[in-house]
Amino acid sequence: MEPNSLQWVGSPCGLHGPYIFYKAFQFHLEGKPRILSLGDFFFVRCTPKDPICIAELQLLWEERTSRQLLSSSKLYFLPEDTPQGRNSDHGEDEVIAVSEKVIVKLEDLVKWVHSDFSKWRCGLQAGSVKTEALGRNGQKEALLKYRQSTLNSGLNFKDVLKEKADLGEDEEETNVIVLSYPQYCRYRSMLKRIQDKPSSILTDQFALALGGIAVVSKNPQILYCRDTFDHPTLIENESICDEFEERLTSHCSSK
């Protein structure tokens, strides 16, 4: 794969007219190959002047007639980076979603991806489970399957996970996760319930049973979203491809 090239990862997950849908793609970030898949959260900067925000990859597809590789993502901003600003009603771990999904070509999305998130200080630090603790009886594989089926409507990500492993990526490279407010409340409640428990029982299975989330090896920052806002300048971004969304919506609704 050439350093500046893009390629789909894994088998297609859907076909509708001139559109082929995929689960993941590979690109290069600072000279290193990286894979992003549906459901992943990652840091982006839409323009050099914009603040860093979080993107959630929700749809990947190729338009065969134009050979365009496209993506749809949901963007989350800190309250202080929205027109209304932060107020006393906002939680310390809260982000606000842009009301409209963002459609951009993959070649533009990878330019948005931001690798330096050292200044991002927001979010609840999630605890992780040591990998070797999950090595018995296929526990780790079961958790990965559970997480992917939960986040991505039951799609099979086995081929994508294999590609990530071949690249030397950890199964859970995400540095940030955005939950719904009810999920976040359940997670905080779970943390209180296990704070005095012996470490020998603090497995991901135990956490899941109490309403937590499965985290294998990293310590991602946990945030939540319960509100949306209209971004005042995003529509002016030259990378936004609303025309492709209109074509996709029109074609699907006519079938």
% the chain with pLDDT above 90 = 40
Which domains does the chain show, CATH number per domain?
A: 7-253 (2.30.30.490)
pLDDT at 252: 53
Q: For 75-109, write each residue's pLDDT tens digit.
A: 999 999 999 999 999 999 999 999 999 999 999 99
Task: Give the residue with greater pLDDT, 139 vs 119.
Answer: 119
pLDDT class for 197, splitting at 50, 70, 90? low
> Which pLDDT score is estimated for 44?
95
pLDDT, tens only, 219-247: 678 899 999 999 988 888 888 887 666 56
The token duo for 38 is 């549906």
pLDDT (tens digit per residue) in 30-66: 888 999 999 999 999 999 899 999 999 999 999 988 8
Q: How far apart are CA 157 and CA 23, in angstroms?
A: 8
Do the beta carbons of residue 71 and residue 104 sit within 8 Å?
yes
- Residue 99, CA atoms < 13 Å, CB-side half-sphere: 8
Per the CB < 8 A criterion, the answer to whether 123 and 93 are in contact is yes
